[in-house]
Structure 1
Amino acid sequence: MVNFQQIEVILAEDEEMFREMALPNIIEAGIAEDKIHIAEDGQEAIAHLDRLQAQAAPGTVIVMLLDVRMPVMDGNKCAQTVQESVASGSRAACPFMICCSANIREVAETSSGDFHMTMPKSFSPSSVAYCMTMAFN
């Protein structure tokens, strides 16, 4: 059985409305609120990732929910940057990265393939729970 207490979630979303809708659904899916880290763009998400990877206990799974369109660094660029740092050896482990978008067609057309899966906005607690379970596989 999957232990959601081992999951740290980075939610990268620039629109406050979507953050406010997503947060309760992530909590209802079984993720503790203190395990959810909010970023307003991809750069903040990477900063959270760096901190979490440095401090995480063994067995911790890090999941990044990345909005496709954000200022400063969008979700595609963030996922690409993380994958490149893993490939170069400068990052030991790759988090489970989920692309989140209100426009799934756009995701299919623009995604660089660096995501592990895609989830449409706004998502339900059951879809969050499914994605968190997939992060363990």
Structure 2
Amino acid sequence: MFITKSIYQPKVFDVLMTISEKKKVKLNKNRAQYDFSGYKVLLAEDNELNREIAIALLKIAKLSVDYASNGKEAVDMFLKSIEGEYAAVLMDIQMPVMDGYEAAKTIRASEHPDAQRISIYAMTANTFTEDVSAALSSGMNGHISKPINTVALYEAINESINKEK
């Protein structure tokens, strides 16, 4: 089989979401309990398709999303944000310009009022113990594996929001 046309990424995303929805009936019931209206997260993800999928999953839970294409952009956006603007930062690890570990360290070392409070989660396919340890050592609060486990993602954000209260 050959593909004779170029593939438009949003169309691929729609197909993947349709397939995953058919296989995850239980997850749909769990999704309904998450309503993060009024909260915003910062997503750092350089891969366009991964970013589109993550944004779609976050919007299902009624989150507002700002996104950056690399760690440096994420740091700059965080530093320009007002206190309490973001409920959490979701950080890919392998990105150009500045990786997720360095971005997390830079955020934690900053003078921003939320630098120590904000929950930062690694989002990566690397799930070995040393990868999780590296994320925690860089100042991240946790690790969400890719492909994204939706319940784990929502639970991490829920934990972050409840930590603020």
TM range (shorter): 0.7 to 0.9
Number of residues of Structure 1 aligned to a counterpart in Structure 2: 125
Is 1:17 the counterpart of 2:49 in the alignment?
Answer: yes
Q: Which has the larger radius of gyration?
A: 2
Retained in 1: the 8 A contact 2:42–2:86? no
- In 2, the alpha carbon distance for the partners of 1:22 and 1:132 equals 13
Is 1:48 the counterpart of 2:77 in the alignment?
Answer: yes
In the other structure, the counterpart of 2:121 is 98
Higher strand share: 1
In the other structure, the counterpart of 1:36 is 65
Deviations 1:42-92 (A, max 9, x none): 111112212322xx5xx654311000110101100000111111xxxx221
In the other structure, the counterpart of 2:30 is none
Deviations 1:86-127 (A, max 9, x none): xxxx22123210011011115235332410111011214322
TM-score (normalizing by structure 1):
0.80
- In 2, the alpha carbon distance for the partners of 1:119 and 1:98 equals 7
Segments of structure 2 that go 5 or more residues without pairing to the other structure are 1-33
Moved over 3 A (4+): none
Root-mean-square deviation (CA, aligned residues, Å) is 2.1
- In 2, the alpha carbon distance for the partners of 1:47 and 1:103 equals 25
Retained in 2: the 8 A contact 1:21–1:122? no
Structure with the bigger RCO (C-alpha within 8 Å, sep 6+) is 1
In the other structure, the counterpart of 2:159 is 134
Retained in 2: the 8 A contact 1:6–1:60? no
